[in-house]
Structure 1
Amino acid sequence: MIARLSLFILAGSLAMTKSGLHGESVYQGRINDPEAVYFTPENYAITADGKTDVSAELQKAINQIKNEKNFGILFIPSGRYRISKTIYVPPAIRLIGYGEERPLICLAPNSPGFQAPVESDKGQANYMFWFTGGGVEGDRPRDAGAGTFYSAIANIDLQIEKGNPYAVALRTHFAQHCYVENVRIDIGDGKAGLFDVGNEMDNVAFYGGDYGIYTTKTSPSWPMMMLDTYFEGQRKAAIYTQEGGLTILRLHARDVPTVIEIKTNYSDRIFMEECRFENIDSPAIIISNEKNAANQISLRNIDCCQVPVLVHYRRSGAQTPGAGALYRVVNYTHGVHIDSLTAAPVVDARADVQPLQSLPDFPRRDIPALPPTKEWVNLVELGAIGDGVTDNTRIFQEAIAKHAAIYIPQGWYVVSEPLKLKPETCLIGLHPIATQIMLLESTPAFSGFGAPQPLLETPIGGANIVTGIGLNTGAFNYRAVACKWMAGEKSLLNDVKFVGGHGSMQRGPRRRNWQRPGISSPNEPVYDRWHDRAWDNQYWSLWITQGGGIIKNIWSASSYATSGLFISNTSTPGRIYAMSVEHHIRNEVRMKNVANWRVYALQLEEEYTEGPDCQPIELQDCRQMVFANLYLFRTIRLKTPYPHSIRTWNCRDVEMLNVHNYSQIKYTTDVPLYDVNLDR
């Protein structure tokens, strides 16, 4: 029976200290990738001294990748680069800095167009970098949206110089597998560091500006994951949000008037944990629409120094005060509370605030660091060919046997046998649609009937890192599991795309005019009345068993798998940071006999073709788990309701915070959660 299952739910439907923030370059050496483009004086008419305006050449380099390859990486070496106008970044293009120091890109003083509000623009500003939903030279740029995937900026610092009061460094309204990581933004007299959040942000620092971030809801209306962020010296607020859906861990804000302000007359879903607020003159959190069922504000373990007022309620003027000069917010929740499956919902604000004698150490970053680039062994230099045809099994197996850190350049690498990693193996890619490990259809080792056969497998207790790679099991490989993850608490699975169906892209400037195959495949599906003949014939895409660790920025949307995520028989601590599981026939997520997991910013979506009868989440014999900012969504095209989003058996000590169970039409789910034992 359920001993404790609590919900904090929508009715009806952080960073290190300043000195500890990782400011060093993550990629200290040049990364050899034959498919990448390098922004160097040898390739473009530029200098990296901060004197020459490189705007035109930088846009040229980005457009070259989009026109010639459709997706890919622009590597930018250390140096100082000056721009004077907006740089547009189309979908699936990644800007990655490298060298002993991060490259610094500066907006020149008094750049034209950055001195006054742009009345026709949603953000009322101009931008240094605008990630778009399309457009190369000759096309009118449009904003990124729910279909903008794989875009990123990483290991590059940005600076707005004087005379640009309406400049914003980044506009990032993108979706899955997009991110801003390892970036310092010096806003100065500019407006903000970033407008419109999207998907995931990690290790980003904001200095100055009216705001560090100001945002509306994400383009797909899903949660936003923010890890290890730092805010200092903003003039109005660190973050100004309108339905941003922010999931925040290890944020450090100091010397700002307000940490988070929710826009007047708007509700929001905000979760914060392991954060620090210092020297906050005005209320740390400003809530609008108090006691509205749509508000879900949850704070856990927030250390405060010189923060007189924790929360201000805009409509009533009421406040939740602090507890002296030093205190910890052990727990604060505002919104609808359902304390058990038999309890009536209550709209309330609850606070557990306790004085401190001294300020504790800031929580340590839990994301394992990549090995230094000088230790990477390049798979292409070992003979691998990523042409989508050549069998690279032997090269992979020999590399795994001999080397700990293996870099996989962009390419689609075919294998025909399982790849079993050693305990220390790191597989490193930098673009999960451009770098894929894949099976051809009906590969014998993965075909026929029998037990699950993993394409990629980690050992029990391993310290593995797998990042920036797509895993493609095709359509007709009946025994395939894309990844069997048994690695330990210190492992990392990051930026991995489980390829199949939604989010697939073609290489090259245009879609190849291939003859439609006789059997279905992820790149060339064969439909029968809009139902792919190959759907739902494989095992799970990601199977975590006896393992744990950090599972971060994952998109599992292969309709050929029976479930996008299956976790079984593990008490190894695990954390999920930003995961999108969508478009399956039977189940999106299943968990059986799982304990000690915390799940942040998990988003589920059912589509009308694949998922009218799909059960989003099933939990069986699970315990000691937390779900925070859990979004359960059925698309506008569905024509039938569904009874429940979460189904449980024999679970206890499961806590769900900021549950958003919704649809854009009348055909939604009847109840968020149904427990089999209680039949309610």
Structure 2
Amino acid sequence: MSPGVAGNCSSSSKGRSINPMFLVFVPLGLGLAVVASQSEDWLRYDNATLETWGFVNVCLPPFGADPTGARDSTEAIQRAVNYARERQLVCLFPPGEYLVSDTIVCEQYRPLRTPTRRVGDRNHPCVLMGMEIEGRRPCLVLSPGSKGFDNAEHPKPVIYFWAAGNGEEMPLDQPQPNISMNQMIVGIDLRLGKNPGAIGISHRAAQGSGIQDCVIDARGAYCGVEGGAGSGGSHAGITVIGGRYGLDLRGTQPAATVVGVTLIGQEESAIICSGRQATTIVGFRVVSSSANPVIVARQNWIHQGQLNLLDGSVEIEGPSAGCLLDTTAAAYFRNVYVKGSATIVRSLAGKLEAPAEGWCLVEEAAVAVPPDPWRGKQLAAIGVRELRYTCDIWIDGIRWPNSIWAKICPSKEPPADLVRRHLWDRNFPRPWSPGVVNVKLLEPAPRGDGVTDDSDPLQKAIDRYPRLFLPKGQYLVTRPLRLRPDTNLIGTHRCFSWLVASAREDGEFGDAANPRPVLQTANDPKATTILGFFGIQLDVSAAGAYALDWAAGPRSVFRDVNIVMPTRWQLRPGIPSPNFDHPLVLVRDHGGGKWYNFHQESWHFQGPNYRHLLVKSARGPLHFYQCNVEHSRSEANMEVRDSTHVFFYGVKGEYNRPIARFVGCRNFALFGYGGNAAAFPGTSLFELEDCEDYRLTLLVDTPRLPGQGSPDHFAGEGVDPRLWFMVQERYADKKIQTPPLDRPTLFARGSLRSPSEHD
């Protein structure tokens, strides 16, 4: 893609316009017998048909958005968004240009439970998805001079995702981003035009939320993206061209993650960041000609603004030798190529200079910038007026004496795939992709009614077809579904298409002593398994079930799959309380690939051996792009044991048990942690035992003090931060603990091979 072109935002390709017949209802007939999808078939279906699969087409009645760009579609799109949200449907945008002149508001549906409290529903999100057909994509075009988009001092988004306050943490009429969940925009471009106060997409959110596969032309506008998704959500596959800023990450959820981002030609800075705890940006390309710092990070409160920069390139054009990162918070670099910057880091801890002209490579660097002393009335709970946190650098069990530790050398040009290596394939299957088979059109067809046992028809479909679409519904299964090495299973959305495991007398999910997976992949290093956009739910009866047994190799992808455990509120008369004393998700043997937005926060019915995630004897490489494991009452939320080449990019946690335990592992990394977890006195949040060649970076938290929460609260109770440790390691008969108030910038041992070397 040329730096001067923001993708294909027109309704034509190679001089050919969209045929109007594809935007008009064509009566359905024998064409439904052809089960393998062709992309343009989806443009022929009316909304009555699409709704049964979980979609509505914004161009069709009763909405009537105009994909030719001839008339304003703002009201039509807003009607479609509201309609889809309330009925748990995806808003589908065919290719074309959609003229808009005001904000499209995407408010999560959370109705009032009482006059002062909202219900905790997270399954009615706003979901916007674009169809790409032969290179043609949907693009929202903001009319020049649109009202309210002219003031850069008060910028306004074109698309605004939010959730209203629940009445406890935030007032009912104020945004509460930690409950903005499962809200997504995928595959839709924007062109902002000459609107100096315009923001492309504002999306600060949590579990299951994100911006994916979007190109934003922000030339003449304020910025491309405002807000970061963390806590089990992330942004991925974003390109921003122009604008005052590319990414405005001054407001994020904890441990926000941005994957595969390209930022070109911003007027001031490509990124501004003061997010909650560590923000991780992995797989990036920045081209800048501004004299300002390319990235600005600010620690406005304790444990804000920390930044991981991994696998990226920054090229500063023009005569002035600029600064890459200007920060008042801790930062970590790995495998970052730099050109045209005399100063790589400018911080309160000192400067990090480039060694020579031309390209240089920051192989690895840690810059430890501690926060100011924390003072506040809250500290009366522990009888002090002030706490002083540190953020030390630890190398092979020894505290580094300086604030900066770096390995920088002259380099050739960066590899061309720094961005793409962290993303799914460009031809990632969608329901309308060629060759994808709709299971509801097969014979026999699964019912998806939550009552009928769909195990047999689903298994037959898996055995026969490699690429399957699982429409909206609840597909009850009573035995494991075994996947082919090349199975691609795609749903409508993580909250709309469900596999539900239930224990019945003739099924296989009732024996807790012999747990069985709902989905089992092939144990194959060459597997190309893809799971995306659906959910796996365990019924309270399924005490002998777990969600996933994953042994598919490094070419496989897990993308936005929702995994849900039963709760005590779901107990029915006659069903005993189950005891899950086994992992919910198991990755083993050849298990590898790329996982996006994995989160699990259940806390009922768990024995000591339960794990939200267990990676055991896995060879990888295995990449987790945002991993939110929390609230478990077992011995640890997740465990990685006897495995190699496992990498986490952004981890968030709550409660008092260890977030992660690593035992007998080598060549692994956890880049960036955030959350309000507070370990029980004398224990730690991260445990290491007999591990080699690893990195843990930017481990920071929001303090949770005594009196906050309770043992029965899902997030546990607060603990005096002077009584617990962030990291505890057992290595060669030695026990190493970081000091209680240390939030390490880097905790490292040995020599980590870059994740990119294994892909």
Equivalent residue in structure 1 for 2:408, among 342, 353, 361: 353
Letter in 2 for 1:551: W
**Match of 1:78?**
95
Equivalent residue in structure 2 for 1:40, among 59, 78, 93: 59
Query: Relative to structure 1, is the Cα distance of residues 417 and 338 closer, same or farther in structure 2, using a 3 angstrom cutoff?
Result: same
**Match of 2:664?**
621
Cα contact 2:447–2:475 (8 A) shared by 1: yes
Q: Using the alignment, how far apart are the partners of 1:347 and 1:189 within structure 2? A: 43
Query: Relative to structure 1, is the Cα distance of residues 570 and 188 closer, same or farther in structure 2, using a 3 angstrom cutoff?
Result: same
Letter in 1 for 2:624: I
Secondary structure of residue in 1 paired with 2:80: helix
Q: Using the alignment, how far apart are the partners of 1:434 and 1:212 within structure 2? A: 32
Letter in 2 for 1:339: W
Secondary structure of residue in 2 paired with 1:59: helix
**Match of 2:116?**
none
**Match of 1:270?**
307
Quote the offset at 1:42 in angstroms.
3.4
**Match of 1:381?**
441
Cα contact 2:274–2:306 (8 A) shared by 1: no
**Match of 1:129?**
159
1:552 aligns to 2:552 (yes or no): no
Quote the offset at 1:603 in angstroms.
1.7
Query: Relative to structure 1, is the Cα distance of residues 21 and 465 closer, same or farther in structure 2, using a 3 angstrom cutoff?
Result: farther
Query: Relative to structure 1, is the Cα distance of residues 30 and 211 closer, same or farther in structure 2, using a 3 angstrom cutoff?
Result: farther
1:591 aligns to 2:640 (yes or no): yes
Root-mean-square deviation (CA, aligned residues, Å) is 3.0
Quote the offset at 1:376 in angstroms.
0.5
Q: Using the alignment, how far apart are the partners of 1:671 and 1:564 within structure 2? A: 22
1:663 aligns to 2:663 (yes or no): no
1:654 aligns to 2:694 (yes or no): yes
Secondary structure of residue in 2 paired with 1:394: helix
Cα-to-partner distance string for 1:293-349 (whole Å, 9 max, x where unaligned): xx3311111112323322223x58855235212211111210144434742364511
**Match of 2:83?**
64
How many pairs were matched up?
Answer: 614
Quote the offset at 1:174 in angstroms.
1.0
Quote the offset at 1:626 in angstroms.
1.1
Query: Relative to structure 1, is the Cα distance of residues 59 and 515 closer, same or farther in structure 2, using a 3 angstrom cutoff?
Result: same
Quote the offset at 1:380 in angstroms.
1.5
Cα-to-partner distance string for 1:526-552 (whole Å, 9 max, x where unaligned): xxxxxxx84752521110010111122
Q: Using the alignment, how far apart are the partners of 1:128 and 1:349 within structure 2? A: 41
Q: Using the alignment, how far apart are the partners of 1:30 and 1:231 within structure 2? A: 35
Letter in 2 for 1:585: R
Secondary structure of residue in 2 paired with 1:308: strand
Cα-to-partner distance string for 1:573-631 (whole Å, 9 max, x where unaligned): 2111111112211021012111121121122222xxxxx5x332222211111111133
Quote the offset at 1:440 in angstroms.
2.6
Q: Using the alignment, how far apart are the partners of 2:65 and 2:519 within structure 1? A: 42
1:456 aligns to 2:509 (yes or no): no
Equivalent residue in structure 2 for 1:328, among 346, 349, 361: 361
Q: Using the alignment, how far apart are the partners of 1:342 and 1:114 within structure 2? A: 53
Secondary structure of residue in 2 paired with 1:81: strand
Quote the offset at 1:72 in angstroms.
2.8
Q: Give the TM-score normalised by structure 2.
A: 0.75
Cα contact 1:224–1:246 (8 A) shared by 2: yes
**Match of 1:574?**
622
Q: Identity of paired residues, percent?
A: 21
Secondary structure of residue in 1 paired with 2:399: coil
Between 475-484 and 42-51, the greater mean CA deviation after superposition? 42-51
Query: Relative to structure 1, is the Cα distance of residues 326 and 20 closer, same or farther in structure 2, using a 3 angstrom cutoff?
Result: farther
Q: Using the alignment, how far apart are the partners of 2:488 and 2:310 within structure 1? A: 29
1:214 aligns to 2:214 (yes or no): no
Matches within 5 A, 1:378-417: 378-382=438-442, 383-417=445-479
1:672 aligns to 2:726 (yes or no): yes
Cα contact 1:150–1:178 (8 A) shared by 2: yes
Letter in 2 for 1:379: V
Instruction: Please list every run of 5 or more consecutive structure 1 residues that lacks an aligned counterpart in the other structure.
Output: 1-15, 119-123, 290-294, 505-513, 521-532, 607-611
Quote the offset at 1:129 in angstroms.
0.7
Q: Using the alignment, how far apart are the partners of 2:4 and 2:482 within structure 1? A: 39
Instruction: Please list every run of 5 or more consecutive structure 2 residues that lacks an aligned counterpart in the other structure.
Output: 14-37, 43-49, 109-124, 166-170, 369-390, 707-718, 737-759
Letter in 2 for 1:418: P
Cα contact 1:109–1:161 (8 A) shared by 2: yes
**Match of 1:488?**
553
Quote the offset at 1:28 in angstroms.
5.0
**Match of 1:8?**
none
Secondary structure of residue in 2 paired with 1:551: strand
**Match of 2:749?**
none
Secondary structure of residue in 1 paired with 2:76: helix
Quote the offset at 1:411 in angstroms.
1.3
Quote the offset at 1:144 in angstroms.
5.0
Equivalent residue in structure 1 for 2:498, among 433, 436, 460: 436
Cα contact 2:259–2:423 (8 A) shared by 1: no
Cα contact 2:288–2:294 (8 A) shared by 1: no
Quote the offset at 1:671 in angstroms.
0.6
Q: Give the TM-score normalised by structure 1.
A: 0.84
Matches within 5 A, 1:191-230: 191-198=222-229, 199-219=233-253, 222-230=254-262
Query: Relative to structure 1, is the Cα distance of residues 449 and 358 closer, same or farther in structure 2, using a 3 angstrom cutoff?
Result: closer
Equivalent residue in structure 2 for 1:232, among 264, 268, 276: 264
1:427 aligns to 2:459 (yes or no): no
Quote the offset at 1:20 in angstroms.
12
Secondary structure of residue in 1 paired with 2:228: coil
1:447 aligns to 2:510 (yes or no): yes
Q: Using the alignment, how far apart are the partners of 2:630 and 2:274 within structure 1? A: 25
Letter in 2 for 1:375: G
Between 424-433 and 40-49, the greater mean CA deviation after superposition? 40-49
Cα contact 1:582–1:604 (8 A) shared by 2: yes
Q: Using the alignment, how far apart are the partners of 1:572 and 1:175 within structure 2? A: 27
Query: Relative to structure 1, is the Cα distance of residues 192 and 629 closer, same or farther in structure 2, using a 3 angstrom cutoff?
Result: same
Q: Using the alignment, how far apart are the partners of 1:251 and 1:646 within structure 2? A: 28
Matches within 5 A, 1:531-546: 534=577, 536-546=579-589
Q: Using the alignment, how far apart are the partners of 1:624 and 1:402 within structure 2? A: 38
Query: Relative to structure 1, is the Cα distance of residues 215 and 99 closer, same or farther in structure 2, using a 3 angstrom cutoff?
Result: closer
Letter in 1 for 2:632: H
Cα-to-partner distance string for 1:630-678 (whole Å, 9 max, x where unaligned): 335327xx9x646211223222222211112453325146011223442
Query: Relative to structure 1, is the Cα distance of residues 643 and 20 closer, same or farther in structure 2, using a 3 angstrom cutoff?
Result: farther
Quote the offset at 1:117 in angstroms.
4.9
Letter in 1 for 2:725: V
**Match of 1:527?**
none
Cα contact 1:30–1:99 (8 A) shared by 2: no
Secondary structure of residue in 2 paired with 1:57: helix
Q: Using the alignment, how far apart are the partners of 1:400 and 1:579 within structure 2? A: 28
Between 248-257 and 280-289, the greater mean CA deviation after superposition? 280-289
Letter in 1 for 2:279: L
